[in-house]
């Protein structure tokens, strides 16, 4: 998939800076203890990637998102988000099964059937009214259920905050999505069109949903990198059902 190669290319272009940053390991015992507590041994590298992501956001992603919000009314943006979530349902269903959540898998399957048919390919959210609420499931979550630890904190090019386990899970979920394989039956051009359009639409939708909160968090943070690391972990812990006593700012990352 070309979009995967684009992400890899971005990481490769950043490699010299990342390697230089990796050389800047904490030297004092206090700094080493702080890095250990944060479970962020790659912090120097992560900060470079974080800065690159922030630069791309300010240069391209945020302006496009603001244009997207300005041009399309709320109702249309909501319909687009519905379709995108409906496209995620097969992967959610598979992860529900892998986690042993049979009842959740049944709800997810019911939602997909109802919203795809009655809801016109997911344009209209019908399943909620039939007591079929949205479920969540990704392969990183599945690995957590299987007892795999999160590993160190990791900032991914374009995708942002993650960790070793969830980064691997993201890759599995992207490959497992059935739509690219269905589109491939129409040839490479059709597959690329589906991949690019779904990736772009999903990115715009997620950025639009967090536009105001993200900017407010950025404005009020003394160390935006550390703040995002903390907020992401709180959000992920909540998804995984992990009790976290530190309830500083909440922030909603859509999967």
Q: What is the pLDDT of residues 150-159, one digit of tens each?
A: 999 999 999 9
Q: Which residue has the tokens 């703040």?
A: 227
Does 14 map to a domain? yes
pLDDT reading at 148 higher than 50: yes
Looking at the fold, whether 66 and 121 belong to one and the same domain comes out as no
Looking at the fold, whether 157 and 37 belong to one and the same domain comes out as yes
Looking at the chain, how many residues does it have? 255
Decide: 155 and 161 in contact? Cβ < 8 Å: yes
Query: How far is the C-alpha of 65 from the C-alpha of 58, rounded, in Å?
Result: 11
Decide: 163 and 151 in contact? Cβ < 8 Å: yes
Does 105 map to a domain? yes
pLDDT score of 184? 87
Q: Give the domain extent around 251.
A: 1-71+149-169+203-255
Q: How confident is the model at residue 243 (pLDDT cuts 50, 70, 90)?
A: low
Looking at the fold, whether 163 and 223 belong to one and the same domain comes out as yes
Does 176 map to a domain? no
**How many domains is the chain partitioned into structurally?**
2
Looking at the fold, whether 50 and 79 belong to one and the same domain comes out as no
Query: How far is the C-alpha of 155 from the C-alpha of 191, rounded, in Å?
Result: 28
Does 126 map to a domain? yes
pLDDT score of 195? 85
- Which of residues 90, 114, 137 is at a domain's end? 137
CB atoms under 10 Å from CB of 30, counted, come to: 9
Decide: 153 and 40 in contact? Cβ < 8 Å: yes
Does 188 map to a domain? no
Does 158 map to a domain? yes
pLDDT reading at 126 higher than 90: yes
Taking the mean position of all CA atoms in its chain, how far away is CA 29? Answer: 34
Q: What is the pLDDT of residues 150-194, one digit of tens each?
A: 999 999 999 999 999 999 999 999 999 999 899 888 888 888 888
Q: How confident is the model at residue 9 (pLDDT cuts 50, 70, 90)?
A: very low
This prediction has a pTM of 0.82
Looking at the fold, whether 161 and 246 belong to one and the same domain comes out as yes
Looking at the fold, whether 244 and 157 belong to one and the same domain comes out as yes
> 160: which strand partners?
156
Looking at the fold, whether 56 and 80 belong to one and the same domain comes out as no
Looking at the fold, whether 106 and 214 belong to one and the same domain comes out as no
Q: Across the chain, what does the average pLDDT equal? A: 85
Looking at the fold, whether 48 and 165 belong to one and the same domain comes out as yes
Which is more confident, 62 or 15?
62
Looking at the fold, whether 10 and 105 belong to one and the same domain comes out as no
pLDDT reading at 208 higher than 70: yes
Looking at the fold, whether 95 and 15 belong to one and the same domain comes out as no
Does 212 map to a domain? yes
pLDDT score of 95? 98
pLDDT reading at 10 higher than 60: no
Does 50 map to a domain? yes
Looking at the fold, whether 42 and 165 belong to one and the same domain comes out as yes
């Amino acid at each position: 998939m070309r979009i995967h190669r684009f992400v890899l290319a971005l990481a490769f272009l950043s490699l010299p800076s990342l390697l230089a940053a990796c050389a800047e390991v904490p030297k004092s015992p206090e700094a080493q203890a702080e890095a250990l507590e944060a479970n962020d041994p790659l912090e120097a590298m992560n900060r470079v990637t974080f800065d690159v992501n922030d630069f791309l956001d300010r240069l391209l992603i945020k302006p496009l998102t603001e244009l997207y919000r300005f041009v399309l009314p709320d109702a249309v943006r909501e319909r687009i988000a519905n379709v995108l979530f409906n496209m995620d349902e097969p992967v959610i269903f598979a992860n529900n099964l892998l986690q042993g959540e049979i009842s959740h898998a049944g709800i997810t399957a019911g939602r997909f059937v109802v919203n795809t048919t009655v809801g016109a390919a997911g344009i209209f959210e019908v399943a909620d009214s039939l007591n079929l609420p949205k479920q969540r499931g990704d392969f990183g979550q599945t690995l957590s259920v299987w007892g795999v630890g999160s590993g160190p904190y990791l900032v991914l090019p374009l995708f942002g905050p993650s960790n070793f386990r969830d980064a691997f899970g993201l890759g599995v979920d992207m490959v497992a999505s059935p739509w690219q394989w269905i589109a491939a039956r129409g040839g490479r051009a059709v597959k690329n069109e589906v991949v690019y359009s779904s990736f772009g639409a999903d990115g715009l939708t997620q950025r639009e949903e967090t536009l105001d909160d993200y900017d407010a968090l950025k404005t009020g943070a003394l160390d935006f990198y550390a703040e995002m690391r903390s907020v992401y972990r709180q959000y992920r812990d909540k998804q995984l059902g992990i009790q976290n006593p530190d309830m500083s700012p909440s922030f909603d990352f859509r999967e």
